[in-house]
Each structure stands twice: as structure tokens, then as C-alpha cells.
Amino acid sequence: MKNKYVIGIDLGGTKICGAVASFEGDIISKYTIPTEAEEGEEAVLARIITVIEKVIEESKVVEDEIVSIGIGSPGPLDAKEGKIITTPNLPFKNFNIVKPIKDKFNIPVYLDNDANAAAIGENVFGAGKGTDNMIFITVSTGIGGGAVLNGKIYRGNTCNALEVGHMTVERNGPRCNCGNYGCAEALASGTAIGRIAREAVERGESTSLSRFEKITSYEVFKEAEKGDAVAQNILNEALNYLGICVANIITSFDPEMVIIGGGVSKGGTVVFNKVQEVVEQRCFRAMWENTKIVPAALGTDAGVIGAVALAIMESN
């Protein structure tokens, strides 16, 4: 029987990372170059093609054993059309990135946003292996998400499903970058935790946070761990809102598993205990008892593994 491989491309604002991998998720070859986004659409496209050529060459895999290519990219994008609509750190504007790559390599090419690719990665190779219905959420600078429902990625009507960072969790909460008030992202993202801490210091609250020149969520986690009451309170509030967001996801999707990744999830037990506590308060017992809330399993290669998993899921 012929061996089968796919190519995954993790397209980011600073670098393009590609890999050839087996259907079991073993990376055969990997290659990374800077994106150089300022050079424009065609130049970045050419660099993606270079990465693909390079990983094929280095993998020593026979070219017709490679069955498809998956690309994970920041959105918003149109996965069905293969178009990147617009995204802050890449030059593409309504640019069909799938067609030229498909024409070049003569195999199917699949595009999806990075949160969906990460969700698929966790489903195929990570914490969600073996689940049919799972939600992945990433909590870092922003809050995003992706869903695998009935064993397939669920994109929704405009490829924007699981924009859970913009779920309203506090009617009169702070203004979010999106224009709405009280979004989960404005109350529970890493960025929000840092901002709320800086505001506390500026108000003159008595906290060990005031000795830092730059306060991010990292310092808030550290000082809370050391016993600073202000930091603990900020974290508790933010995680309460994250818990409400997760509870609403469980109430809506009734998933087998909610996987939480991103910088804030690195906070570990303090994060997962609080989220679990809020979920148990706010969801039906029959639902929370059957929903595991767990950290993401994929590490530094999550982006490219997600793109590999996208190629595999869409090839099945």
C-alpha cells in the first residue's frame, strides 16, 4: 500500500511555517521563513510556494504520495472560496490563495482560519482525539474558537462560527475593540487582564503589581500566585467571565469536550478550577458532568499541525 502524506502551512504575520507529515501526524520535514508581509500579495504567495517546494524536497517523499495541502491563516477568510478577505498583518485583500497553489501542485488545497485549524489539530492529534463534538477556544491576546461537530469542522454561514471572544458576558461591560460592550475578550483575554491590572495600579490600589514598569497578564498571574490580593481579585473576576463564556458554549453546543489553549490557559490549575466551578454553577448537571474541560495538548507546532490536520480531515 502506498504511503500517504499531506502538507501543512501555518501562515502568520511574521513567519510562514510548512511541514510534510504522515496521516499519523509525524512530521517528515519542516521549513520556516519570514513572511515579509510588506512585500505584498504576490511576493508572500511566492514565499508560500517556496516553503512547499522546500518541504517536499527535504521530505524525500515521492511527490504523488502527497495528497493535499492545508493552510491555516488569520481571518476573516472565506474557506469555501479559498479567499483571504482581509487580515491586519498580511497583505492579502480578497485574495484567492488556494487557486494558484492548487494550479501549481495539482492537488487539493484547503484554507481555514487559524482557530479552526487549531481545533482540527486538537481533534485529530491532540486533547480531543476520538471526540465527535468538541469546542476549542484560545485565550491569549484575543479570544477565538473553533468547533468540530459530528466529526467535521463547523464553519457556519460566513466562516465566522465560534467568534466566542465577542459573546456578550456583561451587558454594560467595557468597550471591546469590535465596538460592542462586555465581550468575553474585553473581560477575560490576556490583553484584558493586563489592562484591568494597569487601571488598578493607576487608581493607586495597594498591590505588588505597582513595582512593574510593564504589566501584562503574566505579571498578574505571578503576583496572584504570590498572594497579592488585588492581582488575585482581578484574575478571579476575569476567570469568572471566562467561565460564563464556557458555560454558555456548553449550554449551546452540548459538546463532549471544551479544550482551552492560548497564553492564559498556561495559568494552569487556577484557570481550569475556576472555569470548572463557574460551569458547574451555571450549566445543567447532565451537561457539565458529560463535558470535559481540558488544556490544549499541542505545543509549539500547534499551528502547522493544525494545518496538517485540516488537510487530513478534508481529504477523508
Is residue 159 near a copy of itself by the rule CB under 8 A? yes
Per-residue contact flags (x/-) with a copy of itself for residues 5 to 44, judged by CB under 8 A: ----------------------------------------
Single residue of 117, 120, 247, 294 touching a copy of itself by CB under 8 A:
247
Is residue 170 near a copy of itself by the rule CB under 8 A? yes
* Cα–Cα distance, 162 to 252 (Å, whole number): 11
Single residue of 68, 87, 217, 291 touching a copy of itself by CB under 8 A:
291
Q: Minimum CB separation from a copy of itself for residue 227, in Å?
A: 26
Region for 179 from its dihedrals, namely left if φ exceeds 0, alpha if ψ lies in -120 to 50, beta otherwise: left
Is residue 87 near a copy of itself by the rule CB under 8 A? no
Closest CA to 291 of 264, 262, 254: 254
Per-residue contact flags (x/-) with a copy of itself for residues 54 to 83, judged by CB under 8 A: ----------------------x-------
* Cα–Cα distance, 223 to 199 (Å, whole number): 16
Is residue 128 near a copy of itself by the rule CB under 8 A? no
Q: According to DSSP H, which parts of the chain are helical?
A: 41-59, 98-105, 114-125, 184-188, 190-202, 217-225, 229-253, 269-282, 285-288, 302-315
Candidates 35-43, 44-52, 60-68, 287-295; binding stretch for a copy of itself (CB under 8 A): 287-295
Let me know how many helices (H) and strands (E) the chain has, helices first. 10, 13
- Under 8 Å between Cβ of 90 and 73: yes
* Cα–Cα distance, 240 to 232 (Å, whole number): 12
* Cα–Cα distance, 219 to 257 (Å, whole number): 30
Residue with Cβ nearer a copy of itself (273 or 281): 281
202: exposed, middle or buried (Cβ count in 10 Å: 0-12, 13-18, 19+): exposed
β-sheet bridge partners, residue 144:
138
Residue with Cβ nearer a copy of itself (209 or 294): 294
Single residue of 48, 61, 77, 162 touching a copy of itself by CB under 8 A:
162
* Straight-line distance from the first to the last Cα atom of the chain, in angstroms, rounded to the nearest whole number: 17
Q: Minimum CB separation from a copy of itself for residue 221, in Å?
A: 23
Per-residue contact flags (x/-) with a copy of itself for residues 207 to 246, judged by CB under 8 A: ---------------------------------x---x--
Is residue 186 near a copy of itself by the rule CB under 8 A? no
Which stretches of the chain bind a copy of itself, using CB under 8 A?
Answer: 76, 132-133, 149-150, 152, 154-164, 166-171, 178, 180, 240, 244, 247-249, 251-256, 281-284, 286-287, 290-291
